[in-house]
Amino acid sequence: MLFVSACWRWLLRRPQILPAAVVEDVQGKVTGAEFMDYVTPKAVIKIGDGGSVILSYLKSCRRETISGTGTVVVGTEESAVHLAEVKAEKTNCDANQANVTTRETSGVAATVLRSVDSNKAASLPQPQLTLYGASPLVEAKGRGKLIIRRLDAAGERQEISLGGTQLKGRFVDFASENVALAPGGLYAASFKSSQIVFRVDEQAKPGATPIVGRLLRLQ
């Protein structure tokens, strides 16, 4: 029993390995990555003949299209690629994306939103994240009610009851439903116990813009 307890304490003390990148697309023979997977540093992806993968890094906002037979080792801000061809571009994204929905930051958002709700004259909160696409891709795993409401203007509110049938069980794509939020708007999103305050960039476009720039993680 003492040994089991010690093991659990060790596991709880281990630092959480945060995702480095999201897999935006997979074509052909690829092992080690699937569409909309998160990949962590040192993960290995193998690409077969005619295959390709698109990785978008959450911290560096680097978007890599990697094609042809070869091996990819995921880094923290970019990949190490052997043999395959890499085409990289810089996209608009918020570098806070990788860790903005931890338990601590979600708790801060909840406290701020309670203050706003109880005092209509309260100043608006600062956003924890900026989205560069007006049609969010929301990560909300399992069943529950996803609520997105605007804080700087009255009346705009989205409520979606999720039954666990989202893409891969956790993704809701507003672009596929032709829904867009207002550029420049300040919003709050909540799902289960997770909450986040975010702003939509004034230049944000609706639709299926690069995923890493419109990813909203509620976990």
C-alpha distances in angstroms, 114 versus 119, 122, 126, 154? 9, 11, 14, 17
What's the confidence (pLDDT) of residue 122? 59
Chunked in runs of 10, what are the mean pLDDT values of the chain (219 residues)? Answer: 46 62 96 95 97 96 97 97 97 80 53 58 82 96 94 92 90 94 96 93 96 91
Question: What pLDDT is attached to residue 200?
Answer: 98
Please give the model's pTM, rounded to 2 decimal places: 0.81
Residue 105 contacts residue 128 (beta carbons within 8 Å): yes
Q: What is the predicted pLDDT for the residue at 208?
A: 93
Model pLDDT, residue 119: 58
Measured over the CA atoms of residue 175, residue 179, residue 184 and residue 185, the dihedral's sign is negative
pLDDT given for residue 123 in this prediction? 78
Which residue type does 158 have? Q
C-alpha dihedral sign at 205, 210, 212, 215: positive
The residues facing 129 across adjacent strands are: 198
